[in-house]
Amino acid sequence: MATRHVLFWFDVEDCTVPQSDDCARRIAEIFSARGQRATMKLVGHKCRVLRERVRYTVIDALSRHAIGFHSDMHGGRPQPAEYMAPHDWLDGQREFEARERRGVDEIEAMFGVTPCTYGQPGSNWSPQVFPVLRAWGIPTYVSGFGYVGLHAQPFRYGGMVNTSRMSGTDRRGRPAQHYFGLGFDVGTDEAEARHHAAFDASYDLLEDGGMISIGYHPCQLVLEEWFSTFLKPRAQTLAGFERLDALLGWVLDHPEVECITAEDLPRLYPDRAQGRVFSADELRELALAVGQEVYFQEFDGMALSAAELFGMFTRFLAQAIREGTVPAGAVCEHLDGPAARQFIDCDWFEADPEEFCETVPDVADFLALHGRLPDLIEADAWDLGVPEWFCCAAQMVAHLVEGGDLDTTVATSLARLRINEHVSDEAARNSWGGVMHYEGFDGSKLLEQAKLQAWTLKPAILAG
């Protein structure tokens, strides 16, 4: 029987009432008493409040668990999506780094560790955060929401393991829901029955193994509703602790269940393609599979994003042009997607070998300098969209390996951006009307950037 990895994570965020501090401590103690670790995602301001309230018993209890980051101010205005929405790819990154770095510093100072994960507050998902998180050394993204999802399981996007949007259809095409959140009603019979049913449905679908994500907010055990100071009766809060402990024990009683944290995700879902040199023959096989569409590929137990394929094809061709021979292969390296979408007005493109090869060194230099795909490929006689250039480069790689020369005309129709099938317009638009955003908020540019960065999307393949 295959292992079901269960990720319990808690957003430690509420700063309004001291009782929320004790809820976070009690949850940490419940997991520790059972010999388990949870993922505790802290808000930077919450760290400051815990210090000001001299709540070192809370800090000590949390420190026994995996520590993540959940924004600096959480409910403060402007929200992350609000301040990134007007900006392009690069300026959005600068905004996120300038506004949120303080929260990471608070966590590192309090717990002595770099956060092992990030997850946005509420529906404030944004693609611009990924390069910044990587630069900060944060390797995973744990959330119950996002615009992007794949097979209702963890996936790689932006160079990180993601657990957002673990719903939709699985690899077998079946409807699947492998994330559920606990609510304000924890402690009631109805909630317990609902949680058991959701877990069992997910468990049964994971006959080949996989992950179940369960999220909660400690403040929901003590508050009656969001963004308030109305407290539940003490007996109701205590019943919530008892039922949460019972739920954890019930989950662990299932055969082949392992409780994990965000710290475990890179080990469980290693990127075996990253840093690997793919031989010329392997590149030929990958190139032939491209056709006229932009999509990730799975190859010999590994996954490669469209951006990684783009980079390998480009470097392979650049070396062939520079050295006048067929290279032995090319290394797989992460690249971000384009910063902007440049459209070309043509149904069919054709270029002779010399024209096309003239663009290759410049593209290779751009990748090396910026770590992302260009927005447009420009030549003396024509401009070409990045998707179409990618398809032509694949044709050239396959011909080079098969024929040993660069003498072939490349041609393509408008490429199909199949990767965008995994970016949900509906999820994005529904999020813009969320309770945390100002009325009339429009995140259209975030959705556009999400699709551009879908070049980085690929499955996260479970080790073994």
Residue 238 pLDDT: 96
pLDDT tier at 381, thresholds 50, 70, 90? confident
- Is the separation of the CB atoms in 410 and 351 below 8 Å? yes
CATH number at residue 255: 3.20.20.370
Q: Is residue 464 part of a domain?
A: no
Pair (311, 246) in one structural domain: no
Q: What percent of the chain has pLDDT over 70?
A: 100
Kindly tell me if the per-residue pLDDT of 405 is higher than 90: no
Percent of the chain with pLDDT over 90: 89
pLDDT of residue 393: 96
Q: What is the predicted pLDDT for the residue at 284? A: 98
Whether 340 and 435 share a structural domain: no
* 3-state helix/strand/coil string of the chain: CCCEEEEEEEEECCCCCCHHHHHHHHHHHHHHHCCCCCEEEECHHHHHHHHHCCCHHHHHHHCCCEEEECCCCCCCCCCHHHHHCCCCHHHHHHHHHHHHHHHHHHHHHHHCCCCCCECCCCCCCCCCHHHHHHHCCCCEECCCCCCECECCECEEECCEEECCCCEEECCCCCEEECEEECCCCCCCHHHHHHHHHHHHHHHHHCCCCEEEEEEECHHHHCECCCCCCCECCHHHHHHHHHHHHHHHHHHHCCCCEEEECHHHHHHHCCCCCCCCEEEHHHHHHHHHCCCCECCCEEECCEEECHHHHHHHHHHHHHHHHHHCCCCCEEECCCCECCCCCCCCCCCEEEECHHHHHHHHHHHHHHHHHHCECCCEEECCCCEEEHHHHHHHHHHHHHHHHHHCCCCCCEEEECCECHHHHHECHHHHHHHHCCCCCCCCCCCHHHHHHHHHHHHHCEECCCCC
Same domain, residue pair 296 and 403: yes
> Whole-prediction pTM value?
0.95
Give the model confidence (pLDDT) of 89-102 as tens digits: 999 999 999 999 99
Q: CB-hemisphere CA count at 13 Å for 22?
A: 10
Q: Is the pLDDT of residue 156 over 90?
A: yes
**Residue 357: inside a domain:** yes
| 238 shares its domain with 285 | no
pLDDT of residue 65: 98
How much is the mean pLDDT over the chain?
Answer: 95
Higher pLDDT among residues 437 and 259, named by residue? 259
Residue 135 shares a structural domain with residue 234? yes
**Domain identity same for 81 and 204:** yes
Same domain flag for 283 and 265: no
- Asked whether residue 134 is assigned to any structural domain, the reply reads yes
Same domain for 326 and 444? Answer: no
Per-residue model confidence (pLDDT) at position 266? 97
Task: Report the pLDDT averaged over residues 268-278.
Answer: 97
- What pLDDT is attached to residue 276? 97
- Domain membership of residue 153 as a residue range: 4-269+424-459
For residues 121 and 255, membership in a common domain is answered with: yes
List pLDDT tens digits, range 332-374: 999 999 999 877 777 788 888 889 999 999 999 999 999 999 9
Do 379 and 255 fall within a single domain?
Answer: no
The whole-number average pLDDT for the span 179-197 is 96
The per-residue pLDDT for range 191-248, each reduced to its tens digit, is: 999 999 999 999 999 999 999 999 999 999 999 999 889 999 999 999 999 999 999 9
Average pLDDT of 29-53?
A: 97
Query: Is the pLDDT higher at 379 or at 189?
Result: 189
What pLDDT does residue 348 have?
81
The reply to whether 412 falls in a domain is yes
Q: Are residues 86 and 205 in the same domain?
A: yes
Cβ count within 10 A of residue 457: 27
If one counts the domains in the chain, the total is 2
Q: With a cut of 90, say whether residue 125 has pLDDT above it.
A: yes
- 287: in domain: yes
Residues 111, 20 share a domain: yes
Report yes or no on 27 lying in a domain. Answer: yes
